[in-house]
Amino acid sequence: MNHLFYMAEVFTICAVLSARSEIVKPVEEELLADTNKKVNELWLNFLNMKPVDNDGIAYATCSVSPSSKLESSEIKVMGLVLFKQVFPSGRLEAIFDLEGFPTDANQSTRAIHIHKYGDLTDGCDSAGGHYNPNSVDHPHHPGDFGNFRVRDGKIQKFLANLDATLFGPSSVIGRSIVVHKQADDLGKGNNQASLENGNAGKRLACCIIGSSSKNNWEKYIQDSAAPRSLRFSRRVKKG
């Protein structure tokens, strides 16, 4: 009889706990959601990724210069990569304005990617591999921008709806951009390097992405209104 009594008590307690868990579960989920929100806010504050302008838009600038590892006879690529993103969940936009490619390389393509480290102490070689926070194969890294066509020794291109972000724990602020010597095979090279970096070849130039004011972006848009860049200016404004 005592055993039956204890078993009845156990069943009663289990039933009560089960009923309480159903009540507590929504509360726990709400607390978890609130915790996640606070963690993200802490990341934003820690990384200083809140908009730097009062219009609710964040900007970043990357001043591209030739790698210090290049031979004197190799081409020297320079220019700017500019970023713009509406806080907190807008899609990233970018302007690429690079020069220094040989003019006889017209219609050739070059790969440009975001790399893991903002470390250029050993030229572009110390920038590490591709920035890959989600541990996926190339070309699915957030900074896999693909191939850029060279025209008259320059690359001028506007991209929108990019996967990279200036906000949160996956922010690209402080990381680097690398301009490569060759085209990106987009992961179709049938080897491991293709799935890591697209077999894009030597690193010609690089820069570190830094948070900035809107001045560089707006100045570029204004300067692009000149006749020599009118077509490119229209593409930017449509973006």
Measured distance CA(90)–CA(54) in Å, rounded: 16
Domain ranges, residue 8? 1-46
- Identify any residues that bridge with 180 across adjacent strands, giving them in sequence order: 203
Summary mean pLDDT of the chain: 83
Residue 80 and residue 18 share a domain: no
CATH of the domain at 133: 2.60.40.200
Residue 22 and residue 103 share a domain: no
- What count of residues does the chain have? 239
Do the domain assignments include residue 63?
Answer: yes
Per-residue pLDDT tens for 164-176?
Answer: 999 999 999 999 9
Residue 63 and residue 36 share a domain: no
Other Cβ atoms closer than 10 A to 98: 23
Residue 206 and residue 90 share a domain: yes
Residue 114 and residue 13 share a domain: no
Residue 17 and residue 87 share a domain: no
Residue 92 and residue 12 share a domain: no
Do the domain assignments include residue 52?
Answer: no
N-to-C CA span, the chain:
80
Residue 166 and residue 75 share a domain: yes
The count of domains in the chain is: 2
Measured distance CA(98)–CA(80) in Å, rounded: 6
Residue 152's contacts (CB-CB under 8 Å, 6 or more residues apart) are 103, 106
For residue 176, the model assigns a pLDDT of 98
Residue 163 and residue 209 share a domain: yes
Which band of pLDDT confidence, cut at 50, 70 and 90, is reported for residue 233? very low
Per-residue pLDDT tens for 124-146?
Answer: 999 999 999 999 999 999 999 99
Q: Between 31 and 4, whose confidence is greater?
A: 31
Measured distance CA(112)–CA(148) in Å, rounded: 7
Which band of pLDDT confidence, cut at 50, 70 and 90, is reported for residue 224? confident
Is residue 15 predicted with pLDDT exceeding 90?
no
DSSP secondary structure string for all residues of 190-212? SSHHHHHHTT--SEEEEEE-EEE
